């Protein structure tokens, strides 16, 4: 009979970051930094947010399957993007897609899992792009799913990571 | 007393991570022009460098590093991310770097164990 005793409720907010690339011929080399809104959190900056009882649990009850996560990404992308043509307003759609992916992942209702959803969306042109990702994690409990959706004018890649909180 | 690390050691420090990313990108693709046959290797290099430096920080974090390199051709690109995590301990950092021929967008997510 173990129960979790929380001193302060842990807030889990949606975090979205939107980056737009604009071709600017005059800039030779520059860097722009976007950060999460970590600096605006109110209250104490103490790491220990509450006292937890021991669960004596070494493994997660259920590990998300990589195919499950991939299915979520596939469904969200095809549902929202099929039939659309690329234009500037799709920036908002990108945010919505990431949010949707995260919502669906939460619906899997797996305990002690954190999710990170990322979407990269661009037009189908002669431009080439390369996306790489690497993680430092526990490969037995953490996983990810990815899917690329293309139609005649839009190319979108979505990745959904699921990480266990030990 | 219970052992807990001080807040500086276990928080996601954005400035530190930003510097690491900038150095990794400069080191891997600094003075180069876009080359299609090398871009895969470059993205891998950037990501590996970032990850190596991040793990050297020795903090109790799991990291996800993504890198997008795109040729400058007039096309636009949108990226968005959404995370379900613990606001007080986890954080992310995105750096956009460019030169005359290409863009490079690197995102680092750090999730506390």
pLDDT confidence of A52, banded at 50, 70, 90? Answer: confident
Going by C-alpha positions, the residue among A142, A136, A135 that lies closest to residue A60 is A142
Distance from C-alpha of A78 to C-alpha of A12, rounded to nearest angstrom: 27
pLDDT at A32 (0 to 100): 60
The CATH number of A66-164 is: 3.30.1140.40
Chain A residues 48-77 with a CB less than 8 Å from chain B: 48-49
Chain B residue closest in CA terms to A115: B84
Chain B residue closest in CA terms to A95: B80
Q: What residues of B are in contact with residue A22 (Cβ under 8 Å)?
A: 76
Going by C-alpha positions, the residue among A110, A117, A98 that lies closest to residue A141 is A110
pLDDT at B31 (0 to 100): 83
**Structural domain boundaries of chain A?**
3-41, 66-164
Going by C-alpha positions, the residue among B103, B4, B15 that lies closest to residue A128 is B103
pLDDT at A14 (0 to 100): 44
For the stretch B44-100, pLDDT in tens is 888 888 889 998 988 889 999 999 998 888 888 899 999 999 888 899 999 999 888
Output Rg (C-alpha) for chain B, integer angstroms.
16
CB proximity A29 to B under 8 Å: yes
For the stretch A75-121, pLDDT in tens is 999 999 888 888 888 888 899 999 999 999 999 888 889 999 999 99
CB proximity A146 to B under 8 Å: no
Answer whether residue A44 shows pLDDT above 80: no
Answer whether residue A2 shows pLDDT above 90: no
For the stretch A120-132, pLDDT in tens is 998 888 778 888 8
Count other C-beta atoms under 10 Å from residue A22's C-beta: 11
Write out the DSSP string of chain B: ------HHHHS--HHHHHHHHHHHHHHHHTTPPP-TTTHHHHHHHHHHHHHHHHHHT--SEEEEEEEEEEE-SS--EEEEEEEES-TTT-EEEEEEEE-SSEEEEEEEEEEE-
Answer whether residue A147 shows pLDDT above 90: yes
Pairing state between β A129-136 and A143-150: unpaired
pLDDT at B5 (0 to 100): 55
CB proximity A97 to B under 8 Å: yes
B68 and B105 in contact (C-beta within 8 Å)? yes
pLDDT confidence of A17, banded at 50, 70, 90? Answer: very low
pLDDT at B64 (0 to 100): 92
Count other C-beta atoms under 10 Å from residue A160's C-beta: 29
Q: What residues of B are in contact with residue A165 (Cβ under 8 Å)?
A: 86, 111, 113
Q: In this predicted model, which residue has the larger pLDDT, A141 or A10? A: A141
Length of chain A, please?
A: 166
**Are B62 and A142 in contact (CB < 8 Å)?**
yes
**Are A102 and B36 in contact (CB < 8 Å)?**
no
For the stretch A150-161, pLDDT in tens is 888 889 999 999
Count other C-beta atoms under 10 Å from residue A59's C-beta: 10
pLDDT at B1 (0 to 100): 47
ipTM over 0.85: no
pLDDT confidence of A10, banded at 50, 70, 90? Answer: very low
Chain B nearest C-alpha distance from A10 (Å)? 7
Write out the DSSP string of B34-48: P-TTTHHHHHHHHHH
**Are A33 and B18 in contact (CB < 8 Å)?**
yes
Q: What residues of A are in contact with residue B37 (Cβ under 8 Å)?
A: none
Strands laid side by side in the A30-35 sheet: A30-35, B91-98, B102-112, B61-71, A129-136
């Amino acid at each position: 009979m173990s129960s979790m005793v929380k001193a302060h409720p842990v807030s889990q907010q949606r975090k979205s970051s939107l980056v737009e690339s604009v071709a600017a011929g005059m800039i030779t080399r520059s860097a722009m930094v976007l950060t999460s809104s970590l600096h605006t959190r109110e209250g104490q900056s103490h790491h220990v947010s509450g006292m937890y009882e021991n669960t004596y649990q070494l493994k997660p009850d259920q590990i998300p399957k990589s195919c499950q996560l991939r299915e979520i990404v596939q469904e969200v992308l095809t549902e929202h993007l099929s039939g659309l043509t690329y234009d500037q307003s799709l920036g908002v759609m990108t945010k919505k897609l990431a949010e949707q992916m995260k919502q669906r992942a939460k619906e899997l209702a797996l305990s002690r899992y954190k999710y990170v959803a990322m979407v990269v969306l661009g037009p189908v042109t002669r431009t080439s792009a390369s996306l790489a990702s690497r993680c430092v994690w526990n490969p037995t409990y953490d996983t990810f799913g990815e899917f690329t959706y293309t139609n005649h004018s839009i190319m979108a890649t979505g990745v959904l990571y699921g990480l266990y909180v030990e | 007393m219970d052992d807990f690390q001080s807040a500086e050691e276990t928080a996601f420090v954005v400035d530190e991570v930003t510097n690491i990313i900038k150095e990794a990108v400069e080191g891997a693709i600094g003075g180069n022009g876009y080359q299609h046959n090398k871009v895969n290797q470059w993205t891998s290099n950037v990501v590996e460098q970032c990850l190596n430096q991040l793990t050297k920080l020795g903090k109790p974090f799991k990291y996800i590093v993504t890198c997008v390199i795109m040729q400058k051709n007039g096309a636009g690109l949108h990226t968005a991310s959404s995370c379900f995590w613990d606001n007080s301990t986890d954080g992310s950092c995105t750096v956009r770097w460019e030169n005359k021929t290409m863009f490079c967008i690197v995102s680092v997510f750090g999730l506390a164990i």
